[in-house]
């Protein structure tokens, strides 16, 4: 939900401003969606802390994965806003190459955190979350 709002809003408005040559208006809409991401942090922290117990019972692997994924959920909102900034300007190659590089990084992090650090499912969620944070930082 939050990712869709940030990505779609940024992409649509930046592309409209790009088409009408209003380049100075890219920044405000992108920052508005980044602020949306900042304000989503408490939501994701609450869902990460309480959500697994509300959804699953017992000690299940789904709870571990969901908890870590939710804690870093705001990084998806930041990524949506920042990728929308570039996609709206037609710079899709940058976002595509970055996604490819990030998936390769995710593969290596998965292997390390799951098998070498012996974190299991939690390691898989940490690797995916770290990859998303990496993408957002590079785009920023």
- Give the single-character DSSP code of 95: H
For residue 98, name the pLDDT band (cuts at 50, 70, 90).
very high
* pLDDT surpasses 90 at 93: yes
Half-sphere exposure of residue 35: CA atoms within 13 angstroms, side-chain side: 6
Which of 13-17, 59-63, 123-127 is predicted with the least confidence, judged by mean pLDDT? 59-63
Q: Which residues of 97-121 are buried (b: 16+ CB within 10 A; e: fewer)?
A: ebeeebeeebeebbeebbeeeebeb
Q: What is the pLDDT of residue 40?
A: 97
User: Is the CB of residue 70 less than 8 Å from the CB of residue 36?
Assistant: no
What region does 118 belong to: left with phi over 0, alpha with psi -120 to 50, or beta?
left
Strands annotated E in 11-137: none
Which of 7-16, 30-39, 47-56 is predicted with the least confidence, judged by mean pLDDT? 47-56
User: Is the CB of residue 125 less than 8 Å from the CB of residue 68?
Assistant: yes
* pLDDT surpasses 90 at 20: yes
């Amino acid at each position: 939900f939050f990712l869709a709002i940030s990505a779609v809003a940024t992409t649509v408005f930046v592309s409209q401003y790009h088409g009408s040559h209003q380049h100075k208006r890219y920044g405000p809409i992108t920052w508005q969606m980044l602020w949306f991401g900042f304000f989503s942090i408490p939501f994701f922290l609450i869902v990460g802390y309480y959500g697994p117990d509300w959804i699953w019972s017992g000690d299940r692997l789904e709870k571990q994965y969901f908890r870590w994924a939710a804690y870093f959920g705001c990084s998806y909102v930041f990524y949506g806003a920042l990728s929308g900034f570039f996609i709206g300007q037609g710079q899709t190659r940058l976002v595509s190459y970055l996604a490819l590089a990030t998936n390769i990084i995710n593969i290596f992090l998965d292997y390390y955190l799951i098998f070498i650090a012996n974190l299991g499912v939690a390691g898989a969620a940490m690797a995916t979350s770290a990859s998303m944070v990496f993408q957002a930082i590079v785009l920023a």
